[in-house]
Amino acid sequence: MNGIQEVSGSIPLSSTTKKPSTSGRLFLKKLIQILIMSLHHSLIFITISLVLLLSAGCKDTVTGQDIDNRVMPDSNVSFSVDIYPILNVKCATAGCHNDESRAGGYALTSWTNVRHPDLIDPGQPDNSRLVWSIEARAGIPPMPPIGYNTPLTLNQIRGVRTWIAEGAENN
């Protein structure tokens, strides 16, 4: 048996079995690297394709035109659905009423900030500084400032007034 013992039920070993040559091992190593790179590139392609496919149907950016075209409800005005999008697009911008700039000392970035007692008198839109500003009442600086951003539409002003009249709730 050529000095190598056979184990029952196994493949017989031969003394003529050779180890792969150095060039053969290098070839296998290179082949594995190529396969791994190919798989890596395929996964990247699939991931990018999925992201593009999933995001193609998403429109999560609200524009001024979207806000201006939206009709406010006559009652049950919601802060999160109706008021916040207006304030976010038209007021809470860089250099104005965002959290960093806080023009005039006010940020209009959340219900808590908007509900500031100097801005809103819940149930009393005619006593609310926010209303005075967006209506550009005499003696009150108009908001947004002329030339800075598109003013609120009459529909939006009516919505803000209704929301305040209904108690300026966080709804």
Please check the confidence at residue 19 and state whether its pLDDT lies above 70: no
pLDDT-based confidence at 33, cuts 50/70/90?
confident
Average pLDDT over residues 33-49: 78
Confidence of residue 90 (pLDDT cuts 50, 70, 90): very high
Average pLDDT value for residue range 152-166? 97
Q: Which residues of 75-99 are buried (b: 16+ CB within 10 A; e: fewer)?
A: eebebeebbbbbbbbbbbbeebbbe
Q: pTM of the predicted model, to two decimals? A: 0.65
Does 28 have pLDDT greater than 90?
no
Q: Which of 13-22, 103-112, 144-153 shows the lowest per-residue confidence on average (mean pLDDT)? A: 13-22
Give the DSSP per-residue string, 25-91: HHHHHHHHHHHHHHHHHHHHHHHHHHHHHHHHT---PPPHHHHHHPPPPSS---IIIIIHHHHHHHT
Token pair 């003529």 is at which residue? 16
Q: What is the pLDDT of residue 73?
A: 96
Token representation of residue 88: 């976010």
pLDDT at 58: 54
Q: What is the pLDDT of residues 43-72, one digit of tens each?
A: 787 877 666 666 555 556 778 898 999 999
